[in-house]
Amino acid sequence: MWRFLARTIVQRLLLLVVISIVSHTVIHLAPGQPTEVDPMNPMMKAEDIARIRKSFHLDDPIYLQYVHWMKDLFTGELKSFRDGLPVLSKIWPRFFNSLPLFACTTLIVWTASFPIGIQAALKRGSKFDRGTTLVAYTLISIPGFFLSYLLILWVVRSFHLPVIGLRTFGTESATGLVRVMDRIWHLVIPSLMAALTGITGIAVLSRYVRAQMLDVLGQDYVRTARAKGLDEDRVVYGHALRNALLPFVTMFGLLLPGLISGSVIFEQIFAWPGLGLLSYEAILARDFPMILTLNFMAAALTLFGILLSDILYALVDPRIRLE
């Protein structure tokens, strides 16, 4: 176990280095310079541009730029091209804005998918099963921003309530309870939209649950459990569901990267100042240090998530040995 851990961690770290080199090269070799973002600005003189390029090491060879980036990243010195503020200090507050959105979305997805999937599997071929199947496919197929706009349209027209942003404008002086309720309301709508659509949403997960339950319900041990006269609830939840749950443990780890990259569209629609919106702004501004750092963090989270799911899988399934 420990040897496995040590070896995987070393492998993953190597992989992370390769990823950082590849992404650094891709971004620096792509056309489009950070200094060209605002070519019409009369205040930008040629010598200013040269000075800025020099201070951000933009004229160095690409491998030196990589070394600078890595060194600055790990000493916390890395500055954003846009405003010269340290990248990490810009990321932290955004991270704490994204976290509730991510947590709420995950909570909705996981609490809704299991009952739906289990019911659909138990009543295979019934109206409920076919209905949820069709709804699931529709949700997978709908552009997330299309559905979100329709919902915004409906909420604004019928309830006259604001849904955009972290909180309603002008509630800063309200009482504590009102403020909390307002925050929750503003959190629920985007989370619900992110939970409904997309490939990590309710639609896909409930289909997995259904397929997994169908698979397990056809196993011999379920028939044995029924044959020895256990009541149906015990068979379904005690014997079948416990075994069907195994693969989902691994999915927990794979959720992690969604924290950074999963929410660009929804944060953009709902003007939610999180990591997704931050990366979108960074891309528009050709803010290479910010793009690269966010990309690096996302890759690190992905690798960590895979490791986590391997370990979790070994913990819950005694048949799996990590070697």
Q: Which residues bind other proteins (CB under 8 A)?
A: 15, 18-19, 22-23, 26-27, 30-32, 134, 137-138, 140-146, 149-150, 153, 199, 257, 260-261, 264-265, 268, 279-280, 283-284, 286, 291, 294-295, 298-299, 302-303
Cα separation, 207 vs 199, whole angstroms: 11
In the complex with other proteins, which residue's Cβ is closer, 10 or 22?
22
Closest contact distance (angstroms) between CB of 112 and other proteins is 20
Place of tokens 């195994």: 246
Q: Where are the alpha helices (DSSP H) in 30-86?
A: 46-55, 62-75
* Residue 186 structure tokens: 């503003």
Closest contact distance (angstroms) between CB of 197 and other proteins is 9
Place of tokens 């896909």: 204
Cα separation, 228 vs 216, whole angstroms: 18
Closest contact distance (angstroms) between CB of 177 and other proteins is 32
* Residue 113 structure tokens: 């998918």
Cα separation, 255 vs 262, whole angstroms: 9
In the complex with other proteins, which residue's Cβ is closer, 31 or 42?
31
In the complex with other proteins, which residue's Cβ is closer, 5 or 150?
150
Closest contact distance (angstroms) between CB of 199 and other proteins is 8
Tell me the β-bridge partners of 86.
79
In the complex with other proteins, which residue's Cβ is closer, 183 or 252?
252
Closest contact distance (angstroms) between CB of 227 and other proteins is 21
Q: Tell me how crowded residue 97 is: count the other CB atoms within 10 A of its CB.
A: 19
Closest contact distance (angstroms) between CB of 181 and other proteins is 27
In the complex with other proteins, which residue's Cβ is closer, 37 or 322?
37
In the complex with other proteins, which residue's Cβ is closer, 149 or 221?
149
* One-letter-per-residue 3-state SS of 112-166: HHHHHHHHHHHCCCCHHHHHHHHHHHHHHHCCHHHHHHHHHHHHHHHHCCCCCCC
